[in-house]
């Protein structure tokens, strides 16, 4: 515990220094320094605020305990004991919060994300389920005040999706959605089923943090760019110009397409953003596998072949298999009310990190 409080003291001192630097004219006039120190201040804010609240509660607890040494009547002694109980609860709660705040932070947590949804096993029903997941994540993003853009979409004849890529932009988007990568399984009676039999289908989800140019360098000679006409639902042409873009990264074979914009230049820009995210994921996964090939994360490795969740419509039940979480709020969850599920996954992840740090 002393080590933890030494770290907290150092963080508070750094926070004070950074706050002072942000008032300096030379920093205010330097965009790069201003951005750097503003981000550092923001990163420290929650921990420092919690630590200061902890010190205040602990001080009040000590004062209350010292009061018991004085001569007090029964009524006052009862009030002091009540105060001790309350401050003791505060101290324990804040200390637990600090332990979580000091856990290693994922450097991608504050980043925007790309969410790629693909229909898998189940034919038309899988494509329809991909559409259900698209709406669920879009509604969740709206609830958080995040911006949603469809980067690329491949429709089926029954208004489903073979594949769709979303850009979700908002602070903390990756921290909330990063555990969604994997295989999502649905059990329900398809609209195409006349006998009322329950079918099992799957769709895969990949969540990629959006990365800056400096994080993934892409050489122009390593990419091939093809253009084609955009298409919409049912395969009908919605654009007679060559505005859609397909980018192939030759060294890895990764292919990205974008047809959301009418401008070829804008589609190229969006496609390059997705390509950087996919390359970042590939390089990061290779590095992690090299460092710990046999390590298995409690909340799932994010491998797309791993079944992470089941949506059982007849029982109105959603079960996340990684943490044993079950809810019967099917309608609310599919309408984007994912906070309870996201919190449960985050708590499980924090518990694993704390066990590792111990």
Which pLDDT belongs to residue 4? 81
**In CATH terms, is domain 2-101 a member of 1.20.1740?**
no
Among 152-156, 296-300, 348-352, the minimum mean pLDDT is found in: 296-300
Which pLDDT belongs to residue 303? 45
Query: Reduced to 3 states, what is the DSSP secondary structure of residue 166?
Result: strand
pLDDT at 351 over 90: no
Match domain 113-352 to its CATH number in 3.30.2090.10, 3.10.129.10, 3.30.70.1660, 3.40.190.10. Answer: 3.30.70.1660
pLDDT > 90 fraction of the chain, expressed in percent and rounded: 44
Confidence of residue 197 (pLDDT cuts 50, 70, 90): confident
Are the C-beta atoms of residues 261 and 243 closer than 8 Å to each other? Answer: yes
Each residue's pLDDT tens digit, 70-93: 888 888 888 989 999 999 999 999
Helix (H) or strand (E) holding 214: none
Kind of pairing between the strands at 147-155 and 161-169 = antiparallel
Q: Is the dihedral of CA 299, 305, 311, 312 positive or negative?
A: negative
Each residue's pLDDT tens digit, 17-69: 999 999 999 999 998 899 899 989 988 999 999 999 999 999 999 999 998 88
For 179, the token pair is 């555990």
pLDDT at 118 over 60: yes
- Name every residue whose Cβ is closer than 8 Å to that of residue 208 and which is 6 or more positions away in sequence: 113, 114, 115, 116, 274, 277, 278, 280, 281
Q: Which residue has the higher pLDDT, 168 or 106?
A: 168
Confidence of residue 209 (pLDDT cuts 50, 70, 90): confident
Each residue's pLDDT tens digit, 238-293: 555 677 888 899 888 898 888 877 788 888 888 888 888 888 888 777 766 654 54
So where are the chain's domains? 2-101, 113-352
Separation CA 230–CA 227 (nearest Å): 9
- Residue 297 main-chain phi, psi, to 5 deg: -75, 140
Q: Which residue has the higher pLDDT, 7 or 191?
A: 7
């Amino acid at each position: 515990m002393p080590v933890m409080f030494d770290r907290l003291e150092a963080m508070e001192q750094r926070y004070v220094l950074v706050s002072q630097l942000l008032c300096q004219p030379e920093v205010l006039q330097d965009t790069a320094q201003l951005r750097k120190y503003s981000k550092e201040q923001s990163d420290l804010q929650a921990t420092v605020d919690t630590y200061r609240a902890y010190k205040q509660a602990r001080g009040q607890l000590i004062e209350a305990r010292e009061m018991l040494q004085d001569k007090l009547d029964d009524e006052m002694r009862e009030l002091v004991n009540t105060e001790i109980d309350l401050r003791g609860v505060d101290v324990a709660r804040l200390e637990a919060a600090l332990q979580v705040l000091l856990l290693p932070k994922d450097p991608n947590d504050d980043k925007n994300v790309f969410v790629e949804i693909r229909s898998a096993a189940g034919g038309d029903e899988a494509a329809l389920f991909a559409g259900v997941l698209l709406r669920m994540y879009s509604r969740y993003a709206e609830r958080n005040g995040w911006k949603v853009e469809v980067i690329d979409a491949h429709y089926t004849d029954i208004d489903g999706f073979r594949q769709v890529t979303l850009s979700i932009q908002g602070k903390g988007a990756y921290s909330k959605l990063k555990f969604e990568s994997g295989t999502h399984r649905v059990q329900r009676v398809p609209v195409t089923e006349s006998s009322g039999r329950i079918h099992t289908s799957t769709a895969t989800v990949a969540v990629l943090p959006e990365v800056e140019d400096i994080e993934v360098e892409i050489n122009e000679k390593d990419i091939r760019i093809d253009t084609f006409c955009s298409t919409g639902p049912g395969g009908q042409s919605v654009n007679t110009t060559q505005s859609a873009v397909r980018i192939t990264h030759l060294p890895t074979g990764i292919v990205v397409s974008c047809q959301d914009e009418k401008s070829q230049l804008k589609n190229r820009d969006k496609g390059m953003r997705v390509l950087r995210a996919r390359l970042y994921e590939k390089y990061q996964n290779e590095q992690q596998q090299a460092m710990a090939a046999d390590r298995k994360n409690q909340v799932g490795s994010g491998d797309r072949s791993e079944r992470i969740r089941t949506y059982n419509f007849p029982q109105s039940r959603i079960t996340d298999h990684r943490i044993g979480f079950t809810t019967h709020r099917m309608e609310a969850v599919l309408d984007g009310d994912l906070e309870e599920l996201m919190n449960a996954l985050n708590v499980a992840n924090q518990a694993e990190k704390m066990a590792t740090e111990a």
